[in-house]
Amino acid sequence: MELIASLTSPFARKIRVILEEKQLPYILHESIPWDADTDVGNYNPLGKVPALVDGGKTWIDSAVIAEFLETKESELSLIPKDPLKAVEVKHAEALADGICEAAINIFLERKRAPELQSQAWIERQQGKINNGLKYLNDLIGQKEFICHNTYSLGDIAVVCLMEWYSFRLPEHDWELEYPELARYCNHLGERVAFQSTRPE
């Protein structure tokens, strides 16, 4: 398998963590979608990472790729076989990914020339982040894992989100505001798959 990814993308990191956790061999094809000479468009018409090539077929979107990887033989299952439990895990993933999209919107907006930046847009995105983080913090509470007392794709999505948020928007001291979420992320972040994929 060949994974088209940039090393800082939180969505691509989800897939790198899954591949490590499932011990599935792959080739990392590094490509930064924002670079002028990026080749991401050869793999994804939307010009986004991640994309995954396997057996002549190319898959796009981290949620789709995560589901595809579940079809591969591995001792570790990250999406439950039970349909309702699977939806609950994907719900947690969608929540984390949605918060991540809002955070990326702020990150990109801040890269624009100051006179072009919209404070109203930034505040709108920050509202989604704050509501989402409070929801996650309450959902996780004292638990070790977000769903069903079992490590899953939902946990991977949340840790990739929070570590990206700390990495790119460090001015928000969320660990103080959301202590349950912080405890949970710090604990899970010790797993080798997170350590070996952490952006510098």
Ligand X SMILES: N[C@@H](CCC(=O)N[C@@H](CS)C(=O)NCC(=O)O)C(=O)O
Q: Where are the alpha helices (DSSP H) in 70-152?
A: 83-111, 119-140
Half-sphere exposure of 192 (CA within 13 A, CB side): 5
Q: How far apart are CA 23 and CA 197, in angstroms?
A: 14
Q: Which is nearer to ligand X, 111 or 187 (CB)?
A: 111
**Among 19, 21, 31, 62, contact with ligand X (rule: CB under 6 A):** 62
**Residue-level length of the chain:** 200
Among 4, 48, 80, 156, binds ligand X (CB under 6 A): 48
Q: Are 63 and 71 in contact (CB under 8 A)?
A: no
Q: What whole-number distance in Å separates Cα of residue 148 and Cα of residue 153?
A: 12
Scanning 5-13, 117-125, 171-179, 191-199 for contacts with ligand X by CB under 6 A, the matching segment is 5-13
Q: Which stretch binds ligand X (CB under 6 A): 61-69, 109-117, 120-128, 131-139?
A: 61-69
Residues in the interface with ligand X (CB under 6 A) total: 13
Summarize as ranges the residues that interact with ligand X (CB under 6 A).
Answer: 9-11, 33, 47-50, 61-63, 97, 104
